[in-house]
Amino acid sequence: MNNLKFDDSQIRDTQGLMFSGYGAMQYCRYYLLRIDDASKVKAWLATVAGERITAGEPDKAARAATESSLNIAFSATGLAKLALNQHDLESFELAFQEGMTSKRRITILGDEAANHPDNWHWGNAQKPVDLLLMLYAKEELTFKQRQQDEESHFVSAGLSIVEQLMDTTTHKQGDFNLEHFGFADGVSEPSVDGFPKTRNQPAASAQAPKTIATGEFVLGYPNAYDGKLTTVPHWGNLADKFGINGTYLVFRQLQQDVKGFWTFIHEEAKRQQVDADYLAAKMVGRWKNGAVVEPGQTAAPKMVSNDFDFTDDPDGTGCPFGSHIRRTNPRGQGLGATVDASLIVANRHRLLRRGRSYGPFLENPLADADAQESERGLFFICLNANIERQFEFVQHTWVNSNKFNGLYDEDDPILGNAAGGNRNFTIQDTPLRRRLCNFQQFVTVRGGGYFFLPGLRALKALAAE
């Protein structure tokens, strides 16, 4: 297994979500399902794995020709219902076994107060989820036809709908979609060894960490820890090959208070006598067009580059130390003795983001009559080979830490949820820093879960057992 190569045959054994969030497919729906009849579900899985699932595709033209896509993932309870015993489940990562709503995970993720699972729309004790089905299509007619087809199949196959979530937002700016606060989304995406998009890029090395090891995202391959293998789940006749070409999927529904965010920004900008977009950019770490905030800038540059490592901003006077993007990916500063050493450490905690915004976009959040009427936010979906070391580490050690990067009383200004609204943010500046104090929570968790996204061989094995 140590010599397994992530070649075209392995890519085709992997679900397509591994390589793409299907951005060209405008229409999307997430079905959160409960398994009521395991034997019927297994028969349905046999059809899905053989004909309906969207596999990875190394050929660019073939990927572009795909009109619709379907991928599925399982929670630990879902796998247990499909005949995985306790011994089998214990071969999966502990975070996955326990689930996002266990006491330990709640503490690690900071899901307290408004974010507590008791307040969720789905994924909690009241609405547990066994299976996640993700459906995408380019055209509305194709989507509706596929939607009716898939629903008729899984509803008659021992599955019940717990919740269904629909992406109703497509708001683009240039090459990027805008998230609801108005910033370009998906600007920073890891380059991964062996993935179709990175075939012609240099391989990762200690000297030039240009791409990230395959095993950071795909189970069964060397990871970023000197080529070690991340633990692979085992089950049935496939034994320790069951987890190969699979990954763990994290799903969190994040509601965004767009009006609250921009009301605070405009009030604080007036008090600080600065431009509102400038202040918001400082909190995010990027301008609305996706360009990183650099020292001396007071407005967004025209060119957007993701090729930076913060070495040109050692004092945080451009992109503040506590800004959202500096917390979620510190890049080349502060994690090691050199830039390359810091990049190597940062690359051990990367995530493949595959989510989408939901709800109607507000062109003018302060004046739009719909600002408070409709719920809007982000379906945050990420893939990682180790939930605890990747997603949970980022959330606990970087996003929620009030001691991140030499700070002492503040969490992520966008995602943070300090109790009582006692949230602060520091903007490094000369001759004196600026402080934003006692502001509210802008993002609230409304649902979530940990899932296993299996490879196609594993899907077929589940169906055949």
Tell me the residue type at 2. Answer: N
Cα–Cα distance between 162 and 285 in angstroms, integer? 37
Give helix then strand counts, H and E, for the chain. Answer: 14, 14
DSSP line for 55-106: B----HHHHHH--EEEEEEE-HHHHHHTT--HHHHTTS-HHHHH-TTSHHHH
Give the position of tokens 């800004």. Answer: 323
Cα–Cα distance between 30 and 201 in angstroms, integer? 33
Contact 134/32 with Cβ under 8 angstroms? no
Q: Where do the domains of the chain lie? A: 16-175+220-250+453-464, 253-448
C-alpha gyration radius of the chain: 22
pLDDT at 148 over 90: yes
pLDDT of residue 170: 67
CA distances from 347 to 219, 223, 225, 291, 406 (A): 16, 10, 10, 21, 21
Instruction: List, for residues 413-430, the tens digit of each pLDDT value.
Output: 999 887 656 799 999 999
Instruction: List, for residues 324-371, the tens digit of each pLDDT value.
Output: 999 999 887 777 777 788 888 888 999 999 999 999 999 888 887 666
Bridge-based pairing of strands 352-353 and 247-256 is: unpaired
- Three-state DSSP at 34 gives strand
- Three-state DSSP at 217 gives coil
Contact 398/404 with Cβ under 8 angstroms? yes
pLDDT at 206 over 60: no
Instruction: List, for residues 213-248, the tens digit of each pLDDT value.
Output: 999 999 999 999 887 887 899 988 788 889 999 999
Bridge-based pairing of strands 356-358 and 352-353 is: unpaired
Contact 38/81 with Cβ under 8 angstroms? yes
Contacts of 337 (CB under 8 A, 6+ apart): none
Nearest residue to 55 via CA among 30, 4, 20, 5? 20
Q: CB count, 10 Å around CB of 73?
A: 25
Instruction: List, for residues 172-183, the tens digit of each pLDDT value.
Output: 777 788 999 999
Q: Name the more confident of 229 and 299.
A: 299
Instruction: List, for residues 94-143, the tens digit of each pLDDT value.
Output: 999 999 999 999 999 999 999 999 999 999 999 999 999 999 999 999 99
Q: CB count, 10 Å around CB of 62?
A: 9
Which range has the worst mean pLDDT, 6-15, 115-124, 302-311, 440-449?
Answer: 302-311
Structure tokens at 226: 């000197």
Q: The pTM is what?
A: 0.95
Element at 259 (helix H, strand E): helix 258-272
pLDDT of residue 204: 45
Nearest residue to 154 via CA among 16, 28, 48? 48
Q: Name the more confident of 304 and 184.
A: 184
Give the position of tokens 């006491």. Answer: 103
Contacts of 220 (CB under 8 A, 6+ apart): 1, 4, 229, 232, 241, 243, 244, 245
Round the average pLDDT of the chain to a whole number and report it: 91
Strand partners, 1: none
Cα–Cα distance between 447 and 117 in angstroms, integer? 7
DSSP-derived letter for residue 40 is: H
Nearest residue to 442 via CA among 79, 187, 181? 181
What mean pLDDT do residues 153-174 have? 87
pLDDT at 155 over 80: yes
Binned at pLDDT 50, 70 and 90, residue 29 comes out as very high
pLDDT of residue 372: 67
